[in-house]
Amino acid sequence: MITISDVKKIFQTKNGTVSAVDGVDMTIKDGEIFGVIGYSGAGKSTLIRMLNGLELPTDGSVDVNGQVISKAKGRKLREARQSMGMIFQHFNLLWSRTVLENIQFPLEIAGVPRGERIRKANELLHLVGLEGRGDAYPAQLSGGQKQRVGIARALANDPKVLLCDEATSALDPQTTDSILDLLVDINERLGLTIVLITHEMHVIRKICHRVAVMEAGKVVEEGDVLEVFRNPRQEVTKRFVKEVAQQQESDDILDQYPDGKVLKLTFVGSGTDQPLITSLIRRFDLEVNILQGQISQTQKGAFGTLFIHLKGEREILDQAVAFAEEQSVKVEVMER
């Protein structure tokens, strides 16, 4: 569906050249929800703008659904953009137009007859859960409702790809979750490929199938969301995963429990259902103390981490650790 090949983007500024995107290769599959995450300045916004031709790469190519966007111009570029919808952080609605008129706007530009525009806009109002609000103006809507209008407008031309540029960053957590649920529903109903950029790992965790982590213009890590959560390799990825897990610093935990062993258990998929703690208590003469933990749902299953403290005879401790490692659980003995 989308192929990005050795893409680079260099900006000339009064202070010299800035390499916003530096040699990115990426393939996004048809029908998947693909996330690009990075902190400010990582290059993710520039990258997504190159997907619909708002920015042209300095080098490399961008192919979307068989169209080489990086070389398309004039009518071909306009046609290619009609196959892509885009939603923004700050909604970008027309404040002097009603909700229904905002949704119709892309169809109006495309020359679609008025009756067909109204029919399509009402269908999309129903899809995004805004029935009865067609005559309202953006100023009368909540932030979440405004973003729903933005999503409906982005779907007006029946795009094959939906681009989301920090689409939930301006929303509160509860509203964010409702918008993410809507995006998942749209992906499943319409088979739409969704590419979103964000600096929030919660967004990636909740709806994405795969993720690319960007830092300093480069993709430093990429893979299935569940695998990235289970085994983050780069420091920047570990920071993002930690934000979701909300874990204490391991040093702090070790300071509080100087005796015995502190284990970090990572559960993935069916492993989250295992009665591991119960088995440890029944099998071994140990004191087992649960320190902290959390289980999160991803699109491909559950991911969880649990810190436990084991206290007992050294030989029994070693046997308990070996037993835990035999289960479908990743075991890390925290070192002092």
Q: For the residues of 116-146, what is the DSSP string, one character each? A: HHHHHHHHHHHHTT-TT-TT--GGGS-HHHH
Residue of higher predicted confidence among 294 and 200? 200
31-40, 135-144, 165-174, 327-336: least confidently modelled range: 327-336
Residue finishing a domain among 214, 243, 272: 243
Please give the pLDDT value at position 246: 55
Whether the pLDDT of residue 91 is over 90: the answer is no
Whether residues 202 and 140 share a domain: the answer is yes
Residue of higher predicted confidence among 192 and 272? 192
Rounded CA separation 110/124 (Å)? 17
User: Which backbone phi and psi does 110 adopt, to 5 degrees?
Assistant: -80, -5
For the chain, the domain total comes to 2
Rounded CA separation 4/63 (Å)? 6
Residue finishing a domain among 190, 225, 243: 243
CA dihedral 214, 215, 217, 222 (to 10 degrees): -30
Domain residues for the domain of 179 are: 2-243
Please give the pLDDT value at position 144: 93
Contact assessment for residue 202 and residue 275, using Cβ atoms and an 8 Å cutoff: no
Which CATH number covers residue 175? 3.40.50.300
Whether the pLDDT of residue 257 is over 90: the answer is no
Whether residues 308 and 261 share a domain: the answer is yes
Which CATH number covers residue 300? 3.30.70.260
Average pLDDT rounded to a whole number, residues 161-181: 91
If phi > 0 it is left, if psi is from -120 to 50 it is alpha, else beta; for residue 76 that is alpha
Average pLDDT rounded to a whole number, residues 138-158: 94
Percent of the chain scoring above 70 in pLDDT: 94
Q: Which of 228, 304, 5 is nearest to 220 (CA)?
A: 228
User: Which backbone phi and psi does 317 adopt, to 5 degrees?
Assistant: -60, -45
Whether the pLDDT of residue 268 is over 60: the answer is yes
Whether residues 208 and 257 share a domain: the answer is no
**E strands of 38-83, at which residues?**
59-64, 67-68
Give the pLDDT confidence of 275-333 residue by residue, as tens digits. 888 888 889 998 998 887 777 777 777 777 888 899 889 899 999 988 988 887 888 88
SS3 for 166-193 is CCCCCCCHHHHHHHHHHHHHHHHHHCCE
Whether residues 228 and 309 share a domain: the answer is no
Whether residues 207 and 230 share a domain: the answer is yes
Give the pLDDT confidence of 25-66 residue by residue, as tens digits. 999 999 999 999 999 989 999 999 999 888 999 999 999 988
Q: Which range among 76-90, 206-220, 242-256 has the greatest average pLDDT? A: 206-220
Residues linked to residue 308 through DSSP beta bridges, in sequence order: 263, 290
Whether the pLDDT of residue 227 is over 70: the answer is yes
Whether residues 36 and 94 share a domain: the answer is yes
Whether residues 222 and 287 share a domain: the answer is no
Q: Across all residues in the chain, what is the average pLDDT?
A: 88
Q: Which of 277, 320, 270 is nearest to 295 (CA)?
A: 270
Whether residues 35 and 174 share a domain: the answer is yes
Average pLDDT rounded to a whole number, residues 194-214: 93
Whether residues 206 and 121 share a domain: the answer is yes
Whether residues 95 and 215 share a domain: the answer is yes
Whether residues 233 and 305 share a domain: the answer is no
Rounded CA separation 190/199 (Å)? 26
**pLDDT band for position 199 (50/70/90)?**
very high
182-191, 238-247, 272-281: least confidently modelled range: 238-247
Neighbours of 56 (CB within 10 A): 15
Whether residues 185 and 267 share a domain: the answer is no
Residue finishing a domain among 243, 258, 273: 243
What is the 8-class DSSP label of residue 112?
-
